[in-house]
Amino acid sequence: MCFERLKSTVGRKAVMAVSGLILLLFVAGHMIGNLQVFLGQEALNSYADHLQSLPVLLWPVRLFLLLVLLLHMAVSISLAWENKTARPVPYAYQDTVQAGYVSRTMVVSGVVIFTFIVYHLLHFTFGTTHPQYFHLTDSKGRHDVYSMVILSFRDLWVSGSYVAAMAVLCAHLSHGIQSLFQSLGFNNEKSRPFFEKLAIAASIMIFIGNSFIPFAVLMGFLKLPSGVI
Partner 1 sequence: MNLKLKVWRQRGSGDRGRLVEYEAKNISPDVSFLEMLDIVNEELTRKNVEPVAFDHDCREGICGTCSLMVNGIAHGPRRATTACQLHLRHFKDGDTITIEPWHAKAFPVIKDLVVDRSAFDRIVQAGGFISVNTGGVPEANTIPVPKRTADRAMDAAACIGCGACVASCKNASAMLFVAAKVSHLALLPQGQAEKKERVQKMVAQMDKEGFGACTNQYECEAVCPKEISVSFIAKMNREYLKSSI
Q: Which is nearer to partner 1, 161 or 182 (CB)?
A: 182
Residue 104 binds to partner 1 (criterion: CB under 8 A): yes
Q: How far is the CB of 18 from partner 1 (least distance, A)?
A: 10
Instruction: Please tell me the distance from the alpha carbon of residue 143 to that of residue 47, in angstroms, as a whole number.
Output: 11
Identify the H or E element spanning 23: helix 9-34
Q: Which is nearer to partner 1, 184 or 224 (CB)?
A: 184
Instruction: Please tell me the distance from the alpha carbon of residue 91 to that of residue 88, in angstroms, as a whole number.
Output: 10
Using CB under 8 A, which of the segments 47-55, 94-102, 135-143, 209-217 binds partner 1?
94-102
Residue 101 binds to partner 1 (criterion: CB under 8 A): no
**Residues in 126-185 that interact with partner 1 by CB under 8 A:** 175, 178-179, 181-185
Residue 85 binds to partner 1 (criterion: CB under 8 A): yes
Instruction: Please tell me the distance from the alpha carbon of residue 151 to that of residue 213, in angstroms, as a whole number.
Output: 12
Say if CB 153 and CB 217 are below 8 A apart: yes
DSSP 184: T
Long-range contacts of 122-129, Cβ-Cβ distance < 8 Å, separation of 24 or more: 123/152, 123/158, 124/148, 124/149, 124/152
Residue 198 binds to partner 1 (criterion: CB under 8 A): no
Q: How far is the CB of 7 from partner 1 (least distance, A)?
A: 9
Residue 11 binds to partner 1 (criterion: CB under 8 A): yes
Identify the H or E element spanning 128: none
Q: How far is the CB of 72 from partner 1 (least distance, A)?
A: 14
Residue 82 binds to partner 1 (criterion: CB under 8 A): yes
Q: How far is the CB of 216 from partner 1 (least distance, A)?
A: 35
Instruction: Please tell me the distance from the alpha carbon of residue 16 to that of residue 184, in angstroms, as a whole number.
Output: 10
Say if CB 46 and CB 85 are below 8 A apart: no
Residue 220 binds to partner 1 (criterion: CB under 8 A): no
Instruction: Please tell me the distance from the alpha carbon of residue 95 to that of residue 160, in angstroms, as a whole number.
Output: 34
Using CB under 8 A, which of the segments 52-60, 95-103, 108-116, 216-224 binds partner 1?
95-103
Residue 100 binds to partner 1 (criterion: CB under 8 A): yes
Q: Name the residues that contact partner 1, by CB under 8 A.
A: 1-2, 5-6, 8-14, 79, 82-100, 103-104, 106, 175, 178-179, 181-189, 192
